[in-house]
Amino acid sequence: MKAKKQLDPLDALLGQDSVLRNSILNPSRIEDSRKSALTTHIDNIVVDTVKPVDTGVWETGIQRGSWIIVEQYDDEQQARTGHDAWVEKIKKDPNTPLEDIHIFGE
């Protein structure tokens, strides 16, 4: 008997929106997501705001050793405003407390 719907083996194993799957099948997708990224270096700290392929939601991450995702936004304009605010906070106090928003439910 023939299946009513054929499944792509990668879909079955990794899911339609899997970052790994999309990286293999369309590597430029990750590069494209970085084109509108905002990245600011303050001494050894990085403030990075991007709409990554894994969540599809604008977010700001700050790297002081390890990455911490500190905020998410509804659109690019909010992301730009949020990015600028985080840059100013870090410039004023590089030891500003950072709270991980746990985007993966951790």
Domain housing 3: 1-35
Instruction: Tell me which residue of 62, 12, 24 sits closest to 41, measured CA to CA.
Output: 62
Q: What is the mean pLDDT of the chain?
A: 79
CA–CA gap between residue 69 and residue 63 (Å, rounded): 9
Residues 63, 24 share a domain: no
Residues 86, 57 share a domain: yes
pTM for the model stands at 0.72
Give residue-wise pLDDT tens across range 30-71.
Answer: 666 678 899 999 999 999 999 887 777 899 999 999 999 999
The b/e string for 82-99 (b: 16+ C-beta within 10 A; e otherwise) is: bbeebbebbeeeeeeeee
Residues 60, 76 share a domain: yes
Residues 88, 48 share a domain: yes
